[in-house]
Structure formats: C-alpha cells, structure tokens
Amino acid sequence: MKISRVLLPVLVIAALFVIVSCAPAPAPTSAPAAAPTQPPAAAAQKTYKDMTLCYPQLGAESDWRTANTASFKETAQTLGIKQLVFSDAQQKQENQISAVRACIQQKVDVIALPPVVEDGWDAVLTEAKNAKIPVIIVDRSVSAPKTLYASHIGSDMVLEGERAAAEFNKMMPNGGAVLELSGTTGSGAAVGRAKGFRNKLNPNIKILDSQTGNFTRAEAVPVMQAFLKKYKAGTDFQGIFIHNDDMGIGAIEALKAAGVKPGDLKIVSVDGTRGGFQAMVDGWFQADVECNPLLGPQVFEMALKLMNGQTIDPEVLTNETVYYPDKAKELLPTRKY
C-alpha cells in the first residue's frame, strides 16, 4: 500500500496519540493515601506571658498620674506579662521621645504612650510604624495623623471642660467673672478642657484671666498668689475653674493665706482624686469633674489584641461623671486614688 507523503505524518501523530492515551496513569506525586496530610497548624496565639509593653510615663506631677502609674504596674503584675518597660519623663517631651526610641531599639511588642503635649510626635511615631511596633496613645491626645498609631484610649477632655462650664452656668445664673488655672500648656488635657469650657460657658460669665500651673500643686501656689494680687476675690471674680485637683489644693493654700474662706468663691476642679473629695468635704470645691486614671486593664487587653492581629477600636473614651459635695464624705473612703 502506497501511503501518500501528505498522509504519513498524520498517521504517525494519530498512532502516537493512541499510545499516549493507553499508557498507564503516572504515579501520583502527592503523599500516599496511607499517610494523609495534616491540616496546617493554626498560628499560635500570643498570651500575656509573651508581652513586652513599653510605657514611657510622662511624669509624676499629680495624684492622677501616680494612680495611672500604679494601674499600669499592678495590671502588668496581675496579668503576668513578660516585661513592662517603664520610665518617667519628668514632664519633658524630649525624655519621652528618647524613651520611645529606646523601646523601638529593644523591639518591644507594643508601645503605650501618654503624650505630655499634643504636637511633635510625627517623627518618632513614624519610626515605630516603620519598625512595625503598634502604638496606643494613652490618656492625652496627639495631633499626629491617625495613620501613625493604632488607637487612643483616654478621657474626653473637651467634655470635661464642658461639664465644668455647666456647673458655673448653674451656680452663676446672673453671670459674673471667673479665673482659669490651666494645665500644662499644649497638653491634650489642658487644650481640651479649655476648649470645652469656652464652648459651653454662658456668655454672661467672663473668663477674667487664664494662667498655667502645669498640673502641679507647687506651681499652682504662686499663680494663685499672683491672681490674688491682681484681682480682688469676690469682687473682680466669683469663681475659679481649675484643670486638676492638685492645682486646686495648691490654690486653696494661697486662698487660705489671703483670708478667703471656703464657699466665698465657686470652685470647680477636675480629676476626682481623694484630695479633690477632701476639698469638697471642706467646702472649697463645689464640683469635681471625674477623670479616671485607671487605664491599665484596657490598654493591656488592647495590646494583646494587637499582638494577635485582631481588630481594635481606633478610639476608646472613658465613661465619666461629675461629683458633688453632698456625696463627697460618703464616697471618700471608697476612692481608689
């Protein structure tokens, strides 16, 4: 039989095709059925025992701060974390920035930062972000972009200022003049409280003067003394808004020395420390706006979530209230700070 030149290659290909399709199936390359593969192990969840948390505390300026530090140290112990890297920046931002940098070097798991002031954090927060160390801003706020930190846990300082204003509005329905003894200049706490106070204060109540006492008793005394030299208590002004209880206690010292008696002036303070409660019992403060320093448990819980890649709230505001003299005596022994 003569096969044409055209037909020959077609027949060869067809034959090859038959051979290939009849060939036995190649042996499977995967593991034999007798030894089935295990499902991939779930990523090991981190626990508190794995946690190194950095807390570059801003200072020790007030009873609020002392309670805040204690809350972090106690919580770290209770939870049994691996290490709490604690430092005290003595109210100096440059010390806090150095402490954060040391924590980045040490490759901590999470940084919880209570910023002394709002501005000036972008660079070091960027460094933490580049090192893949999440940062939780604690207590006061920062002005840095939200993309540079994981979350903020703390008080609504604006609301605190608004609550203080509401007290003056109630106590001084016919208007008058008040002084303001403000917290650390440029701090989220002082900026927020001042803003909230101005938001809500009735227009018939004038803010006669505002000076900082840097949140400390010691610095509040000379500021109050200077106020009392410049303005006559009860005549030029009828009230004082004080940004924290420690400064309130310093101010009382100066007021007493100048012969002012409890109740002569309307005084509203912030924090709700034992010292503030005592000042209400003694008749000096007419109201104390709560600011809760016991933030440790919430912060560690969030830090663990971050270590495990879980989702977290970008802002957690503390639930707070206002305290009055009528319940102060009864509540004083129950106060934790």
Tokens of 336: 């934790």
With contacts defined by CB under 6 A, name the span among 31-39, 61-69, 122-130, 301-309 that binds ligand GYE. 61-69
Q: Which of 215, 237, 241, 277: binder of ligand GYE (CB under 6 A)?
A: 215
Residue 62, interface with ligand GYE (CB under 6 A)? Answer: yes
The least CB distance from residue 144 to ligand GYE, in Å, is 17
Ranges of H-type helices in 231-295 = 245-257, 274-281
Between 109 and 271, whose beta carbon lies closer to ligand GYE? Answer: 271
Task: Draw the binding track, 228-247, toward ligand GYE (x: CB under 6 A; -: no contact).
Answer: ----------------x-x-
Residue 139, interface with ligand GYE (CB under 6 A)? Answer: yes
Rg (CA), the chain: 32
Handedness of CA 189, 119, 317, 333 (dihedral sign): negative
Q: Which of 69, 111, 140, 180: binder of ligand GYE (CB under 6 A)?
A: 140
- Triad 200, 192, 295: Cα angle to 5°: 120
Which helix (H) or strand (E) segment holds residue 83: the answer is: strand 83-88
Which residues 145-204 are close enough to bind ligand GYE by CB under 6 A?
155, 189
3-state secondary structure of 146: helix
Residue 291, interface with ligand GYE (CB under 6 A)? Answer: yes
Size of the site for ligand GYE (CB under 6 A): 14
Residue 270, interface with ligand GYE (CB under 6 A)? Answer: yes
3-state secondary structure of 81: coil
Residue 133, interface with ligand GYE (CB under 6 A)? Answer: no
Cβ(106)–Cβ(83) under 8 Å? no
What one-character DSSP code corresponds to residue 319?
Answer: P
Residue 305, interface with ligand GYE (CB under 6 A)? Answer: no
d(CA 157, CA 182): 13
Residue 266, interface with ligand GYE (CB under 6 A)? Answer: no
Residue 290, interface with ligand GYE (CB under 6 A)? Answer: no
The least CB distance from residue 114 to ligand GYE, in Å, is 7
Between 75 and 182, whose beta carbon lies closer to ligand GYE? Answer: 182
Between 162 and 271, whose beta carbon lies closer to ligand GYE? Answer: 271
Which helix (H) or strand (E) segment holds residue 271: the answer is: strand 266-271
Residue 72, interface with ligand GYE (CB under 6 A)? Answer: no
Residue 323, interface with ligand GYE (CB under 6 A)? Answer: no
Name the nearest CA neighbour of 111 among 92, 85, 93. 85
d(CA 133, CA 131): 6
| End-to-end Cα spacing for the chain | 110
User: Which residues contribute to the site for ligand GYE (CB under 6 A)?
Assistant: 61-62, 64-65, 139-140, 155, 189, 215, 244, 246, 270-271, 291
